[in-house]
Structure 1
Amino acid sequence: MNDFFVNTLPLKTKELISLLQDKNPDWLHDFYLTGGTALSLFLGHRESEDLDWFTENNFDPIKLQAKIEVFGKLEGTEISEGTLNTSLTGIKLQFLEYPYPLLEPIIDWQNINLSSLIDIACTKLQTIGMRGSKKDFIDIYFLLKHFSFEELFKELDKKYSKTNYNLPHILKSLVYFDNAENQPMPRMHQDVSWGKIKEEIIKKIKSFKF
């Protein structure tokens, strides 16, 4: 897949991605872009501005911070082992050690590594299992146009085979919308209502067979 929905991204996010593609820093090659913004590049379904970068390798967040500061002043920086959260040009950045294997090869997009659609989908399921936001449920709704729950949970089992994830809990979380109800809808590029999203997810969960 070579065509991406770049125009679904806010201007500041596009500009930062273009800057990184143009400068092509060595450290960026150790990470892959994933999460909501990567998914929006694939599907073009909603606006997303944060950039989530994962790696299977160990890295020093303090040294990485110094390298990123070459591109501008960082704000709101938080550092812990294997994690760097910060903002550059108003865009939130997360760099995270993520020890779970990629199911499909990295996609090279003009000097930026992207994780595959199925890898993003599996991580989304895990996120919803912890605490799903409205954006996460929206993303699952659009991912279900590409994968069935049977396919998703089969791949989830491969990706997280070394961890004791709780499938019944994830299934319950997929139809627990209370925390998301009062959250604002993101700017959508494909027309769908919150009610339709919930209805479709519930319907597909009910028909899912272990």
Structure 2
Amino acid sequence: MSGTFSPRLSILPESQRRLWPELRPATGLGFVLYGGTAIALRLGHRQSVDFDFFTAKPLDREALNEAFSFIRRAIALQSGPETLTLNVPDAEMSDRYVKVSFFGAIDFGRYAAPDMTEDGVLQVASLDDLMATKLKVLMQRVEAKDYQDIAAMLNAGSDLSLGLAVAKEMFGNTFQPSESLKAMTWFEGGDLQRLTDDEKRALIEAASAVRRLPHVEMAMHGLGA
């Protein structure tokens, strides 16, 4: 069953906070917030400057245009059958933008129910599902923010073995837990010099403690509550 939590809105940049109330229709359209901002809203560990919305449903452009008035003032950065990425200008500061992405037909399912923010604006993916998707991202790019997100979730009590098992169920043969663990403890390339010693230590200790992965069953093929 879906719960609620108090989002750490103070961690968001001003432009994101101003856009926040306009995002309320997302839940009714079946969208769940994933990505770094979802983790930051739960843990308050860093600023994340965009919104990534996932749904298992096909992307309905007409419904999006009707639900989100900000689309009319936005600049499209990417548009495909199941992808829409926008730069939304700040309503008060026209030289600032918020990146908002909608992804449809996401078929990897979920392990745990998302939680609703206490103000009723958004459904936010569970930390278990966020951990799984971040572990997959480590194999696709080298960016400090992903390592910081994983370290923050570990410090908040997330189980790395469970996250690896969920990722394996989500992504099948395209995800190899051993390769993700290697990436998680290899701090060369990209902007990884930004990682603190404490963050590196948390990642190394958690990776070193992984033994057998637990058996998990995905709750459903959809993403929403």
Q: TM-score, normalised by structure 1?
A: 0.82
Per-residue CA deviation, residues 51-70 of structure 1 (Å, 9 max, x unaligned), is 0000111114x546644773
Bigger mean CA offset, 173-182 vs 123-132: 173-182
| Residue aligning to 1:142 | 152
How far 1:108 moved relative to its partner?
Answer: 2.4
Determine which of 98, 103, 109 is the counterpart of 1:101.
109
| Residue aligning to 2:205 | 203
2:157 aligned with 1:154, yes or no?
A: no
| Residue aligning to 1:117 | 127
Matches of residues 1-210 of structure 1 in structure 2 within 5 Å?
1-21=4-24, 24=25, 29-60=29-60, 62-63=61-62, 66-67=65-66, 70-71=69-70, 72-89=72-89, 90-97=97-104, 98-109=106-117, 110-145=120-155, 146-160=157-171, 162-181=172-191, 194-210=196-212
| Residue aligning to 1:188 | none
SS of the equivalent of 2:130 reads helix
SS of the equivalent of 2:146 reads helix
1 or 2 for the larger relative contact order (CA 8 Å, sep ≥6)?
Answer: 2
How far 1:112 moved relative to its partner?
Answer: 1.7
| Gap change, CA 1:25 and 1:199, over 3 Å in 2 | closer
Whichever residue aligns with residue 102 of structure 1, its letter is R
Whichever residue aligns with residue 150 of structure 1, its letter is S
How far 1:76 moved relative to its partner?
Answer: 4.3
| Gap change, CA 1:202 and 1:41, over 3 Å in 2 | same
Once residues 67 and 77 of structure 2 are traced to their aligned partners in structure 1, the CA distance between those partners, rounded to angstroms, is 11
How far 1:106 moved relative to its partner?
Answer: 2.6
Whichever residue aligns with residue 107 of structure 2, its letter is P
Whichever residue aligns with residue 9 of structure 1, its letter is L
Once residues 84 and 149 of structure 1 are traced to their aligned partners in structure 2, the CA distance between those partners, rounded to angstroms, is 31
SS of the equivalent of 1:36 reads helix
> Does structure 2 retain, via aligned residues, the 8 Å contact 1:29–1:112?
no
Once residues 144 and 48 of structure 2 are traced to their aligned partners in structure 1, the CA distance between those partners, rounded to angstroms, is 13
Once residues 105 and 56 of structure 1 are traced to their aligned partners in structure 2, the CA distance between those partners, rounded to angstroms, is 14
SS of the equivalent of 1:100 reads coil
| Gap change, CA 1:156 and 1:69, over 3 Å in 2 | closer
**Identical positions, percent:** 22
Once residues 132 and 118 of structure 1 are traced to their aligned partners in structure 2, the CA distance between those partners, rounded to angstroms, is 21
How far 1:47 moved relative to its partner?
Answer: 1.0
Bigger mean CA offset, 83-92 vs 149-158: 149-158
SS of the equivalent of 2:86 reads strand
Once residues 133 and 64 of structure 1 are traced to their aligned partners in structure 2, the CA distance between those partners, rounded to angstroms, is 34
How far 1:82 moved relative to its partner?
Answer: 1.0
Once residues 183 and 14 of structure 2 are traced to their aligned partners in structure 1, the CA distance between those partners, rounded to angstroms, is 33
Once residues 42 and 36 of structure 2 are traced to their aligned partners in structure 1, the CA distance between those partners, rounded to angstroms, is 10
Matched positions, count: 197
Per-residue CA deviation, residues 16-60 of structure 1 (Å, 9 max, x unaligned), is 112233xx378x532111111111111011111200000111114
